[in-house]
């Protein structure tokens, strides 16, 4: 009878350790995802600031329109890349979609490059 109680207690302890390990791993994954999301948001805000600065440097409507067209093309390309990456990652694993978070591309330095 004593051996069965010992076995039951060991089984109980092992279950508690496993539950604790799973909770810890889940928490660490949530922290990692949160950090990746914050990094992606920071990069997007920085990219937006740089693009707005370059757009404000346009000297004519033609320059402004050329920069806007270039920015729209870049954003469409990035969106397609992210969707493609997301679909591929979903096919492989539900946990790897965060690997698709990449920095965004900004406009060229000077408006004169677009002409």
**Rounded CA separation 96/44 (Å):** 20
Predicted pLDDT at 98? 54
pLDDT at residue 14 in the model: 96
pLDDT tens figures, 61-110: 999 999 999 888 888 988 898 888 888 878 877 655 555 555 555 555 54
Residue with the larger pLDDT of the pair 106 and 3: 3
Average pLDDT of 21-43?
93
Cα three-residue angle 9-14-17, rounded to 5 degrees: 125
What pLDDT, on a 0 to 100 scale, did the predictor assign at position 7?
A: 92
Can you give the pTM of this predicted structure? 0.56
User: Per-residue pLDDT averaged across 53-67, rounded?
Assistant: 90
Residues in the chain: 115
d(CA 55, CA 58): 6
């Amino acid at each position: 009878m004593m051996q069965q109680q010992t076995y039951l207690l060991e089984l109980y302890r092992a279950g508690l350790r496993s539950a604790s390990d799973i909770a810890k791993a889940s928490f660490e994954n949530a922290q990692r995802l949160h950090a990746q999301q914050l990094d992606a948001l920071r990069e997007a805000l920085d990219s937006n600031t740089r693009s707005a600065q370059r757009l404000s440097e346009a000297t004519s409507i033609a320059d402004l329109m050329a920069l806007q067209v270039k920015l729209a093309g870049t954003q469409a390309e990035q969106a397609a890349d992210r969707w493609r990456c997301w679909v591929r990652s979903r096919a492989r694993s539900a946990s790897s979609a965060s690997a698709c978070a990449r920095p965004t591309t900004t406009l060229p330095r000077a408006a004169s490059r677009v002409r």
